[in-house]
Amino acid sequence: MPHSILFLCNPAMRSLALLDALPDEVNLTVTLDAEVIAAKAPEADVLVLNTDDQELIRLAVTGATRVKWIHSLMAGLEKKLIPEIREIAAPMTNARGVYAESLGEFVLAACLYFAKDFARMRRQQAEHRWEQFEVSIVAGKTMVILGYGEIGRACAKRAAAMGMKVLGIRRRPELSYGDQYVERVVAFDDRAAWIPEADYLVLAAPSTPETRGLVGVEEIASMKPDSVLINVGRGPVVEEAALVLALREKRILGAALDVFDEEPLPAGHAFYDLDNVLLSPHCADMTPEWLEDSMRFFIGNYGRFRAGAVLENVVNKELGY
């Protein structure tokens, strides 16, 4: 019996052309129309989510009484993992790790941005001013990665190649034992020992009740005066108000931020005016191929689903990632 796939997605999305690789017998519906979702959900074997509209997601999930698998084209699940998905038996997967390489490059770029003081170079160039100054090197520095999963490992790989020491923090440190890029990994509860060691503190953790506020007033106060905080995980992992205050008072060298508590970042937010912040509007992983890469991952996982094999990136619904 052919599978029916209900895609909650803008039908004009360019990467949908890749779905031509699915078997001809697949019954595919791509829509964000509530009436179409309500009509097609009861026959759906697979739900694919590329929207944060919780009402549409709820409509699809509650109507999809025979659904066997739910997939998110994005890695972040805080707006998609609604109670109705948590309560059903169908497994959920996501795009975890698909964007790790581009985020690893952003983190390395952020390290170099502050080490070489590119902001000062650009200011002096704009002012037609020739004024030599000292720069730093990243070799020999310590990168501490909070959230040592696929993204964290991509950061560690690049940091190690640049001669940096890498320390990791994750919920289950044993999953990284023997990793060639990280010297040692400890649990979240032991982060107080690692954070003061960081020249570059990289946050690559998902947003869950366990990770919310992991880097707060005490953790930021323990950072070196010349250290840099880099967040490519989720905004709520760091206490934003505490970070703003530390940056204003120059208690740390700077921050490179790709994610925030509220997105889009409000026009009057303090981060816009801080000269020691490198601000990315949550696009550090938006390469020309980012949606195509996610679609290819889904197609590969559908092949596993069709063959009855184990799916990749199965989400722990209780933990939220």
Give the tens place of pLDDT for each residue, 108-158: 999 999 999 999 999 999 999 999 999 999 999 999 999 999 999 999 999
Question: pLDDT value at position 97?
Answer: 94
Give the fold, CATH level 3, of 4-97+288-307. Answer: Rossmann fold (3.40.50)
Question: pLDDT value at position 256?
Answer: 99
Class of domain 100-279: alpha beta
210 is catalytic: no
Question: pLDDT value at position 297?
Answer: 97
In which band, very low, low, confident or very high, does the pLDDT at 304 lie, cut at 50, 70 and 90? very high
Please give the model's pTM, rounded to 2 decimal places. 0.94
Question: pLDDT value at position 310?
Answer: 97
Q: Are 39 and 62 in contact (CB under 8 A)?
A: no
Q: Which of 210, 263, 289, 312 is catalytic?
A: 263
Task: Please give the DSSP secondary-structure letter assigned to residue 314.
Answer: B
Question: pLDDT value at position 312?
Answer: 98
- Which is nearest to 234 in space by CA: 209, 251, 217, 252? 209
And the tokens for 15? Answer: 């990467």
First-last CA distance in the chain: 31
In which band, very low, low, confident or very high, does the pLDDT at 98 lie, cut at 50, 70 and 90? very high
Question: Mean pLDDT across the chain, nearest whole number?
Answer: 97
In which band, very low, low, confident or very high, does the pLDDT at 165 lie, cut at 50, 70 and 90? very high
Question: pLDDT value at position 130?
Answer: 98
As a whole number, mean pLDDT of residues 309-319 equals 96
DSSP track, 198-267: -SEEEE-----TTTTTSB-HHHHHTS-TT-EEEE-S-GGGB-HHHHHHHHHTTSSSEEEES--SSSSPPT
**What is the three-class DSSP state of 95?**
coil
As a whole number, mean pLDDT of residues 293-312 equals 97
**pLDDT for 169 beyond 90:** yes
pLDDT digits (tens, 9 = 90+) for 208-243: 999 999 999 999 999 999 999 999 999 999 999 999
In which band, very low, low, confident or very high, does the pLDDT at 189 lie, cut at 50, 70 and 90? very high
Question: pLDDT value at position 279?
Answer: 98
234 is catalytic: yes
**pLDDT for 1 beyond 90:** no
As a whole number, mean pLDDT of residues 297-308 equals 97
Q: Where in the chain is the domain with CATH 3.40.50.720?
A: 4-97+288-307, 100-279
Q: Which of 184, 191, 282, 304 is catalytic?
A: 282
Q: Which of 153, 158, 170, 234 is catalytic?
A: 234
Question: pLDDT value at position 181?
Answer: 98
Question: pLDDT value at position 83?
Answer: 97
Please list the residues that pair with 145 across neighbouring strands: 168, 202
Neighbours of 242 (CB within 10 A): 17
